[in-house]
Amino acid sequence: MLDSPLVRTLIRLSIEEDLALGDVTSENCVAEDSFATADVIARESLVVCGLSLVPWIFLERDIPVEIEFLSEDGAQVEAGESLLRLRGASRDLLSTERIILNFLQRMSGVATVSRRYAGESGDLTVLDTRKTIPGWRVLDKYAVSVGGCRNHRFGLGDMILVKNNHVDAAKGASRGERMRAALSEISRRKPFFLPVEVEVRDQEELQVALEFSPTAVLLDNMSDDEILASVKLIKSTRPQTVIEASGGMTRERIQSLQGLGVDAVSVGALTTRSPNVDISMRLEIEQ
């Protein structure tokens, strides 16, 4: 996943935005022939993510640096543990510090939150969404998977997902009629290999959606009673259909869904509400 050209482009952008005018502080107070060892250290309990980007960062800068990995992506570490050790020119390490930390703090933050969700989801599969930082989708979704949750669509071309606005944009006097119109067009025009998921808001839309044998049905913002009724209808009509729930999926809400017959939940909060974790770099100048 991380071999995507988009990731390399993002690394180059991060270098450009920080070093377009050079590192005037290091260049004016650190000797050119100074060398140092630097440890990248977790300052809180976290799930490590993004270490494999570090060599690419130095490669893009064309800087010779020795890298010793002391942890790995997916590892749970505690405050004070070193994640990796770098040795190189002091100026190079200082000018690359924030670039490295920005990637590690964001990605480890998403992985840490995803690990919490995955650990409390029981038999439910927790899916991410396309609610990612622009340009960061590959990294955000990689971090989600490192944390133990699953990736949904990477882009609009991965699968057909009929959402509320698609239905509302179709012709018809009722939601059911508009749903039928939208799905009829899709059935007529779509490539045969694309899976189809349909978002439904009520029983009327669900009944129509099931007529078209979708791969998955997304139950949007339904109460427990509505979910139970929907699951019963799906299991009796199209038992092979994957049942996903969405809308306000907090960790507490996910726990309450266990035993209702839902297969998966989609959680935008994995990438929209994950705080950066605290990671720092400490330099030791070689004498």
State pLDDT tens for residues 45-71. Answer: 999 999 999 999 999 999 999 999 999
Q: What average pLDDT does the segment 185-200 reach? A: 95
Q: In residues, how long is the chain?
A: 287
Residues labelled as active-site residues: 98, 131, 163, 199, 220
18 pLDDT band, cuts 50/70/90, is: very high
Q: Measure the CA–CA gap between 22 and 12, rounded to whole angstroms.
A: 14
Q: To 5 degrees, how large is the angle CA 139–CA 141–CA 142?
A: 60
| pLDDT at res. 182 | 96
CA 115: distance to chain centroid?
Answer: 12
The CA-atom distances, in angstroms, between 201 and each of 78, 153, 171 are 43, 21, 17
Q: Report the percentage of the chain scoring pLDDT > 90.
A: 97
Q: What average pLDDT does the segment 142-153 reach? A: 98
Cα dihedral sign for 50, 55, 58, 59? Answer: negative
| pLDDT at res. 286 | 87
Q: What average pLDDT does the segment 220-228 reach? A: 96
Q: Report the percentage of the chain scoring pLDDT > 70.
A: 100
pLDDT over 80 (residue 41)? yes
**What are the domain boundaries of the chain?**
5-117+275-285, 150-266
pLDDT over 80 (residue 287)? no
Each residue of 81-106: b (16+ CB within 10 Å) or e? Answer: bbbbebbbbbbbbbbbbebbbebbbb
Q: Measure the CA–CA gap between 239 and 228, rounded to whole angstroms.
A: 14
Q: Measure the CA–CA gap between 167 and 175, rounded to whole angstroms.
A: 7
Interval 256-270: pLDDT, tens:
999 999 999 999 999
| pLDDT at res. 1 | 84
pLDDT over 80 (residue 273)? yes
Q: Measure the CA–CA gap between 272 and 266, rounded to whole angstroms.
A: 13
Average predicted confidence (pLDDT) for the chain: 96
Q: Give me the CATH code for the 5-117+275-285 domain, please.
A: 3.90.1170.20
pLDDT over 80 (residue 219)? yes
Contact of 262 with 231, CB cutoff 8 Å: yes
Whole-prediction pTM: 0.95
| pLDDT at res. 266 | 97
Q: Give me the CATH code for the 150-266 domain, please.
A: 3.20.20.70
Contact of 208 with 178, CB cutoff 8 Å: no
On the question of a common fold for 5-117+275-285 and 150-266, the answer reads no
3 pLDDT band, cuts 50/70/90, is: confident
Interval 87-129: pLDDT, tens:
999 999 999 999 999 999 999 999 999 999 999 999 999 999 9
| pLDDT at res. 270 | 97
Q: Measure the CA–CA gap between 187 and 53, rounded to whole angstroms.
A: 42
